[in-house]
């Protein structure tokens, strides 16, 4: 297999983008990534788009072809475009397919994009429930806040996590988001903001939940051996790992351990020939505050049951032992579901290039991502390194 590098990245402002359509968001991010990578349209061999539910959000399937067309690749250039979907992990899988395409030698220059336009429908919660087992979870009334609340209850019961520790995940992510001009929320909050916000699904409150968002992100990958032709700072992809699990939460042996995160994380570290201590920072899937705690444990950074204390002590802040979600995470940066996995890669690229501004992790050389679909039926993890 060939080695693969990221040579460009682009993103839109995340948020309630009433002024902007699905296709405009894609075009904005795609053009930014193409510009950043110094490639021309004629050089692009293939395009992968991650989108969870464009069919239900905007009545549009076939979004690979749509995006390709609107960034100018679909017509005379006839560039192949493929949408990949695994609920909220769709973006991470689009990146993985792009890496596979280059690694295999099938393509040289490939775009991986992610997009979602969620604010155009009334009931985003029901659309999102399509990521769970529709017949045995959603039809019975389970929503995503409800499912993650069950994970949180199980975790609190087993490990004595406090409500305040959970709130601190959100406080830290809002702090990081305040330094990211693309973030949906750029305001600081306090523990009491979280504790006094509306109860959504006990014990989760409004400020434990990532928002409904519009947004897109895109990156360009190519074989490492030609990356220097396009950029002085190629970012090497040193691991690309994916794992699955049962679609329904109730079929798992342990609610508060995501088996697919454990499996994908182990595969990623084996591929990269690295240990946990080698990772300088990590972007994980904090769709709800509890998910961030599970993620850093299941990836092996923190012992099971200790992520609450680790967070309380400030170890996940920039400058801490393991900076987590420097972008602001899903909570503050926003969570346009299909775009999130690509935004994680975008953030890692900003950090490894030393271009993350006020939220820069000093001397960052190796970054990792973890992107989750549903309650963990799909997990995809990447490790990237400054070349």
Minimum CB separation from a second copy for residue 85, in Å?
Answer: 5
Minimum CB separation from a second copy for residue 221, in Å?
Answer: 13
- Catalytic pick among 26, 174, 294, 335: 335
**Please, which residue, 33 or 249, has the CB nearer to a second copy?**
249
Minimum CB separation from a second copy for residue 156, in Å?
Answer: 25
Residue 88 is a catalytic residue: yes
Cα(161)–Cα(49) distance, integer angstroms: 38
Which two three-digit tokens encode residue 169? 């995940």
**Please, which residue, 73 or 171, has the CB nearer to a second copy?**
73
CA separation, residue 174 to residues 209, 254, 270, 338 (Å) = 12, 30, 33, 21
Q: Cα-flanking dihedrals φ and ψ of residue 140, to 5°?
A: -85, 0
Which two three-digit tokens encode residue 294? 């599970």
- Catalytic pick among 88, 209, 222, 287: 88
Give residue 44's region: left, alpha or beta (phi > 0; psi -120 to 50). beta
Cα(157)–Cα(95) distance, integer angstroms: 36
**Please, which residue, 44 or 356, has the CB nearer to a second copy?**
44
**Please, which residue, 76 or 232, has the CB nearer to a second copy?**
76
Minimum CB separation from a second copy for residue 262, in Å?
Answer: 8
Q: Evaluate whether 289 touches 170 at the Cβ level (below 8 Å).
A: yes
Residues contributing to the site for a second copy (CB under 8 A): 1, 21, 23, 46-47, 52-53, 55-56, 58-66, 68-69, 73-76, 78-87, 93, 97, 100-101, 103-106, 127, 129-135, 138, 242-248, 251-252, 259-260, 263, 373-374, 377-378, 380
Contacts of residue 377, defined as CB under 8 A and 6 or more positions apart, other chains included, come to 86, 87, 244, 245, 246, 247, 260
Residue 174 is a catalytic residue: no
Catalytic residues: 88, 335
């Amino acid at each position: 297999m060939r080695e693969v590098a990221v040579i460009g990245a682009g993103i839109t402002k995340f948020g309630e983008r009433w002024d902007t359509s699905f296709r405009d968001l894609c075009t904005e991010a795609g053009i930014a990534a193409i510009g950043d990578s110094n490639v021309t349209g004629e050089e692009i061999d293939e395009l992968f788009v991650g989108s969870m539910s464009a069919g239900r959000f905007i009545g549009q399937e076939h979004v690979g072809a749509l995006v390709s067309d609107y960034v100018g690749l679909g017509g005379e250039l006839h560039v192949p475009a493929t949408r990949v979907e695994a609920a909220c992990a769709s973006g991470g899988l689009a990146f993985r397919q792009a890496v596979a395409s280059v690694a295999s030698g099938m393509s040289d220059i490939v775009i991986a994009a992610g997009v979602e336009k969620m604010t155009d429908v009334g009931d985003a919660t029901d659309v999102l429930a399509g990521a769970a087992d529709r017949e045995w979870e959603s039809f019975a009334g389970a929503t995503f806040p409800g499912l993650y609340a069950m994970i949180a209850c199980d975790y609190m019961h087993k490990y004595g996590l406090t409500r305040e520790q959970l709130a601190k995940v959100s406080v830290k992510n809002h702090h990081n988001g305040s330094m990211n001009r693309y973030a949906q929320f750029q305001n600081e909050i306090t523990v009491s903001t979280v504790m006094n916000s509306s109860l959504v699904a006990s014990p989760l409150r409004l400020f434990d939940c990532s928002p409904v968002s519009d947004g897109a992100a895109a990156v360009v990958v190519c074989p490492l051996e030609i990356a220097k032709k396009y950029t002085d700072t190629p970012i090497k992809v040193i691991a690309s790992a994916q794992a699955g699990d049962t679609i329904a939460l109730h079929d798992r042996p342990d609610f508060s351990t995501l088996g697919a995160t454990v499996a994908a994380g182990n595969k990623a570290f084996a591929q990269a020939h690295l240990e946990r201590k080698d990772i300088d920072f990590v972007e994980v899937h904090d769709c709800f505050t509890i998910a961030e705690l599970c993620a850093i444990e299941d990836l092996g950074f923190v012992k099971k049951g200790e992520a609450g204390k680790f967070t309380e002590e400030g170890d996940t802040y920039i400058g801490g032992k393991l900076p987590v979600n420097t972008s602001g995470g899903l909570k503050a940066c926003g969570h346009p579901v299909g775009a999130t996995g690509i935004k994680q890669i975008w953030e890692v690229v900003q950090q490894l290039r030393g271009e993350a501004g006020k939220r820069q992790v000093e001397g960052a050389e190796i970054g990792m991502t973890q992107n989750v679909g549903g309650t963990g039926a799909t997990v995809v993890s990447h490790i990237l390194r400054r070349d």
